[in-house]
Structure 1
Amino acid sequence: MKVVKERFGETNGETVYSYELQNDQGFKVNCISLGCIITSISTPDKNGNLENVVLGFDSVEEYLEHSPYFGSIVGRVAGRINNGKFELDGEPYSLPQNEKTNHLHGGPNAFDKRVWDAEIIEKENEIGVKFSLLSNDGENGYPGNVTVNATYLVNNQNELTITYTATTDKKTLINLTNHTYFNLSGNVKKDILSHKLKLKSDEYLELNELFIPTGEKVSVDKKPFDFVNKKELKEAILSNDDQIKKVGQGIDHPFILNENHNEEIVLEDETSGRKLIIETDEESVVVYTSNMLEGDFQIRGVQAKKYLGICLETQGLPDSINQPNFEPCILDVGEEYNTTTKYKFTTN
């Protein structure tokens, strides 16, 4: 196994480095210090052909100009905060509204646009990179100086493990996730409509017109959101369900997980034979089928369009700080935020 570090580009006078994590089977994860972005993951199909299975770009400029959070760590708080407002211990806070009236994914120039420090990890059974960042008190309206780490580790079982940690000197909010868009066809040969998804989840969160949770947890039973038994994504995406229509004819919903660290999220592409198993200690996964992925740009030669990738964002529940029935994503002084998600790539 080996780690190769190279210069990837530059932004605001800061050098962005790439890190290629390759195991003994040729499985590779490429990531950069800008936003901890996973730029590519090369994994074999059922015939042993190594191909990239995530959406990404080959330049800093493309990420800064076009990226809808491709492959990045988003924070301080993943997802949307209603009206960009919350209270902590009776004190009101206002955050920038960067999606209509919502505060989205930590706001403008958040963790996904920052250049992180990086430390290479080389052990006998795993290799990786530990990315580190200091988010200053008041950044994008959040209280507290927060020290954040995101560690990417690869082993010889074709597994990528992401561990997030954070500490603060003042009570604040933290809810991190990775925003990779997966497409198991390999090199974006086709969209993800025929991908099959299986979730160990009996409930999803209903969304309002601004994609904010209403607070209602809805049973998936007999609805397009039922992925308890594996089914093609298009069965849900092409349905006439009001919730599917509301988010741009697709899925952009949090699913509450029944189990943790037990193959609770499984994505498959039958043509390539590739299978992705995701295990986490998080409460939920936000499934986003790239319903709003449109624009006058290309993704490594493929025109941007709907349904080119699927995001499986393991995280705490969105807007939890404003929802009395949700566990709020509060980090206090003396506590450590610590969560792990593992991605295992295999074939049928």
Structure 2
Amino acid sequence: MNLSRRTVIASTAAAGVAATALGGTAEASSGRRPVKTLFGKLADGTKIYSWALENGGTRLKVLSWGGVVQSLELPDRHGRYANVSLGFDNIEDYVAKTPYFGALIGRYGNRIGKGQFTLDGKKYQVNVNDGVNSLHGGIKGFDKHVWNVEPFVKGSDVGLYLHYTSVDGEMGYPGTLKVKVTYTLTKRGEWRIDYEATTTKATVVNLTSHVYWNLAGESSGTIEDHELTIAAARYTPTDSGLIPTGQLAKVSGTPFDFRKTKAIGRDIRAAHPQQVQAKGYDHNWVLDKGITAKPVHVATLRDPRSGRTLKIATDQPGLQFYSGNFLDGTLTGTGGRTYRQGDALCLETQHFPDSPNQPSFPSTVLRPGQTYRTTTIHTFDA
């Protein structure tokens, strides 16, 4: 019988079952103050801390390095826990090897063609780190900095405030950008991300989170049997460098149509030229709702084996679906197994890639006196 996640949590708690270790059984939890522990040290001796949060049956571990989600544990339909996000068990791999596992991304999530854009008549060259293009802020984006972390408990919610100041000219971007990101676990076990930023000069900003999801559990194998729904009738095709062409193409009749739920593996190896050059899915979906004042449900991911379900709500106009195409067996994760192609996927809420060079795309310009604000909510069930 398929019980709701909250029913499982309540029934196991009534039986007095403790859930203290990975693979344990779910029990009800209320907002407790986050627990801080030493995760490791950088080469210069800087200490990197891990913050453990738990609420509503969801367990989250966050690092001060890059705001990384090091693990996110959820119960399955039987109340058994598993970590559903890819990551490492040591800081050295996060510094030297990570493909953005669980990281906060900025200043500009996704790609900017040739690392160039013009703003108010001035041309800017930002750091390139993906061939001739800039990806996720450059060689040293927000994922490769130490964030200041403050824990909080507010009523039934528990969470972290993460702060980082990007100085004027960092990675070539104009303006000193002050960033505040709030991670909140609600009493229902939802994970909410609130992004805020202000700038001293006109600049471009596109912040997102880069969690690699496998709802069956990290190191459990392929996500091709996961079922996905995306509320989008169009997507942005790309050139060979994965830079949008500017076209908003219809998904109808293509492997990119996820308006009705389907298994990811059904069309992942189709001969569509967009998939051939991306080695799978690595595209931005143009969400039907557009930009909204409040988060709106846009995507659902479900693992039929465990029953775990992820629903995503956002106020952003785009969603990047990346099917883990470049995982190549060279990285060993927290479960002690290597990660291979298709062992996880990313669903990144965002503005469109290369927006600074695409006049028809929604603007990502932030000016002094304005505040960048956006919210994404992850709701879990089983």
TM-score range, shorter chain: over 0.9
Please give the alpha-carbon distance, in whole angstroms, between the structure 2 residues aligned to 1:323 and 1:78.
15
* Aligned partners of 2:183 and 2:194 also within 8 Å: yes
- Aligned pair partner of 2:177 in 136, 142, 146: 146
- Note the 1:49-64 alignment, pairs <5 A: 49-64=80-95
2:100 is paired with a residue whose SS is coil
- State yes or no: 1:297 paired with 2:331: yes
Please give the alpha-carbon distance, in whole angstroms, between the structure 2 residues aligned to 1:61 and 1:265.
34
* Aligned partners of 2:309 and 2:380 also within 8 Å: yes
- Aligned pair partner of 2:217 in 186, 208, 221: 186
Specify the alignment match of 2:25 in structure 1. Answer: none
**CA displacement 1:199-229 (0-9 Å, x = unmatched):** 1110000100100000000101011000000
Q: Which amino acid in structure 2 is aligned with residue 238 of structure 1? A: R
1:339 is paired with a residue whose SS is strand
- State yes or no: 1:332 paired with 2:362: no
* Aligned partners of 2:296 and 2:315 also within 8 Å: no
2:143 is paired with a residue whose SS is helix
- Aligned pair partner of 2:51 in 6, 15, 19: 19
* Aligned partners of 2:56 and 2:189 also within 8 Å: no
TM-score normalised over the length of structure 2: 0.89
1:36 is paired with a residue whose SS is coil
1:215 is paired with a residue whose SS is coil
Richer in strand (by share)? 1
Moved runs in structure 1, 4+ residues, more than 6 A? none
- State yes or no: 1:288 paired with 2:322: yes
Q: For residue 268 of structure 1, report the CA deviation from its aligned partner.
A: 0.3
Specify the alignment match of 1:278 in structure 2. Answer: 312
Q: For residue 239 of structure 1, report the CA deviation from its aligned partner.
A: 1.0
Specify the alignment match of 1:253 in structure 2. Answer: 283
- State yes or no: 1:68 paired with 2:99: yes
Is there any run of 5+ residues in structure 2 with no aligned partner, and where? 1-30
* Aligned partners of 2:77 and 2:308 also within 8 Å: yes
Please give the alpha-carbon distance, in whole angstroms, between the structure 1 residues aligned to 2:228 and 2:82.
20
- Note the 1:263-274 alignment, pairs <5 A: 263-274=297-308
Please give the alpha-carbon distance, in whole angstroms, between the structure 2 residues aligned to 1:143 and 1:276.
36
- Aligned pair partner of 1:195 in 216, 226, 229: 226
Q: Which amino acid in structure 2 is aligned with residue 258 of structure 1? A: D
**CA displacement 1:19-61 (0-9 Å, x = unmatched):** 1111153x20111110000011111101100110000111110
Please give the alpha-carbon distance, in whole angstroms, between the structure 2 residues aligned to 1:227 and 1:42.
26
Please give the alpha-carbon distance, in whole angstroms, between the structure 1 residues aligned to 2:46 and 2:179.
19
**CA displacement 1:105-147 (0-9 Å, x = unmatched):** 0001110000000111111110000000010000000010110
Moved more, 232-241 or 139-148: 232-241
Is there any run of 5+ residues in structure 1 with no aligned partner, and where? none
Moved more, 58-67 or 293-302: 293-302
TM-score normalised over the length of structure 1: 0.97
Specify the alignment match of 1:8 in structure 2. Answer: 39
- Note the 1:56-205 alignment, pairs <5 A: 56-205=87-236
Larger Rg: 2
Q: For residue 295 of structure 1, report the CA deviation from its aligned partner.
A: 4.5
**CA displacement 1:90-109 (0-9 Å, x = unmatched):** 11111121010001100011
Specify the alignment match of 1:210 in structure 2. Answer: 241
Please give the alpha-carbon distance, in whole angstroms, between the structure 1 residues aligned to 2:339 and 2:219.
11
1:182 is paired with a residue whose SS is coil
* Aligned partners of 2:89 and 2:333 also within 8 Å: no
Q: Which amino acid in structure 1 is aligned with residue 357 of structure 2? A: N
* Aligned partners of 2:206 and 2:351 also within 8 Å: yes
Q: For residue 262 of structure 1, report the CA deviation from its aligned partner.
A: 3.7
- Cα 1:343–1:333 change in 2 (3 A) is same
* Aligned partners of 2:74 and 2:84 also within 8 Å: yes
Please give the alpha-carbon distance, in whole angstroms, between the structure 2 residues aligned to 1:182 and 1:24.
20
Q: Which amino acid in structure 1 is aligned with residue 189 of structure 2? A: N
Q: Which amino acid in structure 2 is aligned with residue 123 of structure 1? A: K
Percent identical residues: 38
Please give the alpha-carbon distance, in whole angstroms, between the structure 2 residues aligned to 1:226 and 1:344.
23
Please give the alpha-carbon distance, in whole angstroms, between the structure 1 residues aligned to 2:310 and 2:150.
27
1:8 is paired with a residue whose SS is strand
Specify the alignment match of 1:311 in structure 2. Answer: 346
**CA displacement 1:5-25 (0-9 Å, x = unmatched):** 111112233211111111153
Q: For residue 338 of structure 1, report the CA deviation from its aligned partner.
A: 0.2
> Alpha carbon RMSD of aligned pairs, Å?
1.0
* Aligned partners of 2:150 and 2:162 also within 8 Å: yes
Please give the alpha-carbon distance, in whole angstroms, between the structure 2 residues aligned to 1:197 and 1:140.
35
Q: Which amino acid in structure 1 is aligned with residue 177 of structure 2? A: V
- Cα 1:24–1:197 change in 2 (3 A) is closer
* Aligned partners of 1:53 and 1:188 also within 8 Å: no
Please give the alpha-carbon distance, in whole angstroms, between the structure 2 residues aligned to 1:344 and 1:60.
28
Please give the alpha-carbon distance, in whole angstroms, between the structure 1 residues aligned to 2:369 and 2:331.
45
Q: How many residues align?
A: 345
Please give the alpha-carbon distance, in whole angstroms, between the structure 1 residues aligned to 2:296 and 2:128.
37
1:51 is paired with a residue whose SS is strand
Q: Which amino acid in structure 2 is aligned with residue 335 of structure 1? A: Q
2:361 is paired with a residue whose SS is coil
Please give the alpha-carbon distance, in whole angstroms, between the structure 1 residues aligned to 2:76 and 2:175.
45
Please give the alpha-carbon distance, in whole angstroms, between the structure 2 residues aligned to 1:110 and 1:220.
32
